[in-house]
Structures are given as structure tokens and as C-alpha cells.
Amino acid sequence: MRPTLALLLLALLAPVGSAAQARVWEVNGVRLEASQVERLAGDIARQTVAAVERQPGLALRPEQAGALESVYHSVALDTYDRVVSVVNQDGLDDAAKEAEVKRLVIAGQERSSGRVAEILDPAQYETYRAWEQKQVESFRQRGLWSSGRRARRGGR
């Protein structure tokens, strides 16, 4: 009895973790817990910086790379939050969802671009912006889920 009471007492008195709502994504029955969401956003941000660094004429300084990663990380979390809520809406058909998701992604890209402009030098940003607009235009043209990148990669 004593150990049980002690345990309950400990439970009552012990510090309790943050009550803040953890960011969890669930789409089509696939659920990502908060730590997985965080890792995914971090990985995508790092990979995006790697993609930027590959562009000719965009030699990033280490502090610029770090700042870009931070921007991409926060924009990715924010954009994917909105995308997940759109994809999970019952009232929208696939075409409407796809259009809305594209709009959200492009809006997110524009938000990140504004912050990237503050990080890069003007000459760097000019190169970045030209490449970004080309990429966004290509994104605008392609299908997301039906005939998009995944289909071009042979369904992997």
C-alpha cells in the first residue's frame, strides 16, 4: 500500500511537461508524431539549402546557409500544416484539393522568398529569384498526385 501511495503522491507532485499542443500530422491514416514532423521539416530544410547551394553563382556563406535553413524550416512547418488541413477536408474533391494545395505551396514559397531576400546579397538574390521563379513555374504546370514527380520517377 505504501509504495502505491508514494507513487500516486509522486505523480501529484512531480513537474509536468509542457501542456502546449504538439504538432502532429495525420493524412490518409498515416500519422506523424511531433518528433517525426520536426525531423521531416528539418530534413527538407537542409535538403533545400543543398539544392540552393548547387546553383551556379550562389556561393552561400555558412551563416547564410544556416539562416536559409531556419527560414525553410519554419515555412515548411507552416505550409504543411495548412496543406494537411486542406487534404483532410471532406467537402473538397481531388481537383479542388490539388488547386488549393498548389496555391498554399506557392504562397509559402513567396513568403520564404521575402525572407531570403533579407539574407542574400542583392546579386545572389537576383540569381536565386530567377531560379526560384523557374522552379515555381514548373511546379505550377505539373500535376501533384496524378501525373506529377512521383509518376515521372516510375512510381517509386
Partner 1 sequence: MKRALWLAVCVMFGASAASAEGLDWEVEESADASAPVQATRNVRDGVIGLADAFFDANTAVFGCFALAASQLFMGAGDVVGLVDDNPVTQHVTKGVLSKNLAKVGYLWHLAGAESLLGSHGLEVERWAASDAATLNPLLSDEDVAELEGPLPLDPLVFVEDSMFHADAYQPAAPLVDLGAVVLVDGVMRPVASVLRIAQQREQADALDETATDWFKRALEWGW
Residues that bind partner 1 (CB under 8 A): 1, 4-5, 7-8, 10-12, 14-22, 25-27, 29-33, 35-36, 38-40, 43-44, 47-48, 50-52, 76, 79-80, 83, 101, 105-106, 109, 132, 135-136, 138-139, 144, 148-150, 152-153, 156
**Residue nearer to partner 1 on the CB measure, 39 or 61:** 39
Greatest C-alpha distance within the chain: 73
Tally of CA atoms within 13 A in the half-sphere of 66 that contains its CB: 3
Length of the chain: 156
Q: Work out the number of other CB atoms within 10 angstroms of the CB of residue 103.
A: 13
CB 117 to partner 1: min, Å: 15
- Give the three-state DSSP class for 67: helix
Q: Are 84 and 28 in contact (CB under 8 A)?
A: no
CB 61 to partner 1: min, Å: 19
**Residue nearer to partner 1 on the CB measure, 17 or 91:** 17
| Cβ-proximal residues to 143 (8 Å cutoff; 6+ apart), any chain | 98, 151
CB 136 to partner 1: min, Å: 5
CB 135 to partner 1: min, Å: 4
